[in-house]
Structure formats: structure tokens, C-alpha cells
Amino acid sequence: MKGRPSFATALMYTVAIGMLVFIAAPLVVTMSLSVSDTMFVAFPPRGFTLSWFRKVIEDPDFQSALSFSIWLAASATAGALFLGVPAAFALVRFPLPGRAMLRSALLSPLIFPVLITGLALLQLFSILGWRTVWLNLLLAHILVTSPYVVRTVSASLMLADVTLEEAARTLGASQWRTFVRITLPQIAPGVAAGSLFAFMVSFDNYPVSMWLADAANDPMPMLIYRKATGVFDPSVAAMSTLMIGLAIGVVLILERLVGLRRAMGM
């Protein structure tokens, strides 16, 4: 009958809803554990309290790890943009020899296991004698986040109207002015999406940090891992909930600035 969804459509929606529940269930469990008023982890939670959040926020180790992770993610995002945007332009706008091979090389961190990448970088920095841990972490995070910027900006450049740039150059605009006034507004969704992915991948990156971090340069994933392998109480869930909240906040900011659908090219 007209208006009644077909079996295939109903099945598709059922599978989609099931996948969403499967993905969101661990997050819901983690957030519920963070408000339990017991001294141990219990699900379903017994009682309700926000004291674990206060304990976490007042913890000097948490404050240090959070500030370092935010700095590291923001710096890695800036580095990924600095390298990824010109690389995307080179891949899309210029007939480079071996362009397909170059694209594969730039996107290879997305293919190789991050754990292997972290171990390889540890060996490389050891051979080179680079002992500055925070700098090694930053370079490694830039390496694993740059491909996200390259992919999103490349997609936006393919959709950009080149004739507008040519018109601006014909009317006397410099290359830099043309980029800022004409090109950048067109590729802004790709830049925003790449920045979002780069920040979150860096902020939540454990495999690379596991090989390169030390006690003085301790990102959030490392702190949560140590807490979870020690005395596992609801404070660990509270830390994870705060990280989930930060991720949601970043997504909402992106939606507010450029629109999530537009940023993702939808």
C-alpha cells in the first residue's frame, strides 16, 4: 500500500537503530557508573552522586593530564592544518608526477595500525637521539592526524568553483587574497571537519602515547589506563564521562560554526 514502508526499508532502519544502540551502550554504561555513590564500580549504579566528578576535577594528576592533552591536541591540529591544507592543494590542483603514490603515502597512517606506527616512531626517535618527549609526542600526533585534514580538504577542493578564483585573479587579486577571500570560504567545511577529526584523534590517542609519553608528559588516555589498571572506582568512569562531554562539546561547536552536515559534506 502507498505510504507503508517496504520490508527492506524497515529492515534498514532496524539495523541502523541496532547499530546506534550497540555503539552508544558502552557510553551510557560509563556515564551511569560515574554517578554511583558506592566506593566500587557497580552496574546498574546504586544511588546517585556527583562527588566523583568533584574528586576528579580536584585531582592534580587529572588537571595536569587534561591541560597537557588539550595543548597536545590543539598543537597537533594546528600542525596538521599547516601541513595538510597545502598537501591537499598539491594533490588536487597540480598534476604532480606520481600523484597517486604520493596520496597513498600521505594517507598511509590511516591504513597502518597505530600501535605499529607508535613503535616505529619510538625506534626512529631513539635512532635520531631525540630525547624531548613533548616534541616527539607532538610530531607523532601531527603524523597520525594530518591524513584526516588531507582527506576532508581534498574533498572540499574537488567541489570548489575554480572559476571564482580565476575571476578574482583576473580582477587583480593576489594569490593570498584570492585564497583568503574566495577559496577558504568554499573549503571551510572541509577544514572544520578535518580540524574536528584531528583534535579528537589526538586527544583520545592511546597507542602512540603509550610508546612516547613519560611521567612528565602524561596525556589523559595514559592516566585513565593507569587508574583503570589500579584501583578501579567510579572516578575512572567520571574521567571518561568528562572526555565524552568534551567530545560532544567540540561537535556542538562545529555545528554552531559551520553546520555539521555542511562540514561533513552532506
The model's pLDDT over 140-173, given as tens digits with 9 standing for 90+, comes to 999 999 999 998 888 888 887 788 878 888 888 7
So what's the pLDDT on residue 79? Answer: 93
| pLDDT at residue number 5 | 61
156-215: pLDDT as tens digits: 888 877 888 788 888 887 788 888 888 888 888 888 888 888 998 898 888 888 888 877
CB contact at 8 A, 26 and 240: no
Instruction: Say how far apart CA 216 and CA 78 lie, in whole Å.
Output: 23
pTM for this model (two decimals): 0.80
Record the cell numbers describing residue 217, joined without a space.
608528559
Contact present, 148 and 197 (Cβ < 8 Å)? yes
Residues 6+ apart with CB under 8 A from 175: 169
What confidence tens digit (pLDDT) does each residue in 87-102 have? Answer: 888 888 887 787 788 8
Crossing angle, helix 133-159 and helix 99-107, to 10 degrees?
130
Mind listing the pLDDT tens digit for each residue in 108-132?
Answer: 888 888 888 888 888 888 888 888 8
The answer to whether 70 touches 203, Cβ cutoff 8 Å, is yes
Residue (of 79, 89, 258) closest to 175 by Cα position: 89
The percentage of residues in the chain with a pLDDT greater than 90, rounded to a whole number, is 10
* Integer Cα distance of 226 and 216 in angstroms: 15
Asked if the bond preceding 185 is cis, omega within 30° of 0, the reply is no
Query: Mean of the per-residue pLDDT values for the chain?
Result: 82
63-77 per-position pLDDT tens digit: 888 889 989 999 999
Residue 265: per-residue pLDDT: 47
CA dist 104 and 111 (Å) reads: 9
C-alpha cell at 252: 556542538
User: Which class in CATH covers the domain with range 60-263?
Assistant: mainly alpha
Which residues have a Cβ under 8 Å from the Cβ of 229 and sit 6 or more positions away?
none
Please name every residue paired with 214 in a beta bridge, in sequence order, or none if there are none. 217
